[in-house]
Amino acid sequence: MSDWKMFDGDGHVRELEQDVFEYLPESYRQRRDAMLYFPLLPHHGWHRQALGSPRSGFLIPTLRDWQRALDDGNLEGAVLYPTRFMHIGQIGIPEFAADLARAYNDFLYDRFLRQERRLKGVALLPLQHIEAAVAELRRVVKELGMVGGILPADGLPRPLGHAEFYPLYEEADRLGCMLAVHSQNSLRNNDLFLWLDEAATLAHVWPQMRQFTNLMFSGIFSRLPNLRIAFLEAGCGWVPYLISKMEPRMKRKNLLTPSSLIADGRIYFQCGEELTTRRDIELLGDQCLIWASDFPHEGILDMAAAVKEFLTREDVPAESKRKIANENPRRLYGLR
């Protein structure tokens, strides 16, 4: 690689509940032992580490671990998402969801972002309490310099295209920041799975397909010209199929189609690990795809190896690699 560096569009912290807890209001901290006796967030039923150890070890990355990963991969930067707290959509108490989102965002800023300029943050948002979600998005973008907010792919009682969420999309449109529908395992549909590997294969992509379809048919993109949304942690192999099914119906309803939104740089998808990436580039174009390391999930602990694996792929053209791993994530996250 010569005149450009890769930018990681989706990396992770592994936040510990006891660490985030210290950023909650005093009223919670006075009940610390009772609060932490139970999980702060509901979790899914498919424990991936229960039947064996990870492929390449397990890491709860510190700031120094992330700095080392950036150096080892010769990365320009990385955007950080949560792990456990991605399940915030499953919280049933709106006020608690709001307090927990703010605590996580303060934790992320204090422990990582303010100490390393190459790291960027996407904020947790309590969509159960839409007024609080709007205020929190405004706070983290204007005061903490974060680049956008997370929309839970699952857990909420209504899909993301529901009108109750429009004030948040309107605020993102005003701020000019992105939003990310980020998949996670959840309690929903767990009864449909029989095996751990089945859950690992399908649990991320099902909710993502549902939210993408719902948001496209909601018409929200036609109303808000600056809205940018990324669909992450489920690859992109499912996208061409859905677009082929949706666009004829969307055209009949005079809605902006996914193809037009891709051309305008308003929707993005994570890619890289699938064997179908070359086909997806041919069908979708390379301007809507971003590379994501997913470090340190799934045993991905060697950033240099992850970077080399992508850069040496013979099925992805060189110019597409530059777009996917630098230009596109910078445009998505509003980075100069």
Phi, psi of 58 (to 5 degrees): -130, 135
Angle CA 258–231–72, to nearest 5: 130
pLDDT in tens, 178-191: 999 998 877 666 77
Band (47; pLDDT cuts 50, 70, 90):
confident
Band (120; pLDDT cuts 50, 70, 90):
very high
Q: Say which residue the tokens 């694996």 belong to.
A: 309
Tell if the pTM clears 0.85, that is, is over it: yes
Q: Say which residue the tokens 């971003």 belong to.
A: 290
pLDDT in tens, 286-318: 999 999 999 999 879 999 999 999 999 999 999
CB 228 within 8 A of CB 261: no
Residue closest to 211 by CA, chosen among 258, 160, 247:
160
Phi, psi of 121 (to 5 degrees): -120, 140
Rounded Cα–Cα distance for residues 2 and 210 (Å): 40
Query: What is the layout of strands, in order, in the sheet containing 178-182?
Result: 7-12, 77-81, 119-123, 148-152, 178-182, 228-232, 267-271, 289-291
pLDDT in tens, 49-66: 787 665 667 899 999 999
Q: Say which residue the tokens 């295209």 belong to.
A: 161
- SS3 state at 119: strand
Residue closest to 6 by CA, chosen among 325, 310, 311:
325
CATH 3.40.50.2000 fits 7-332, yes or no: no
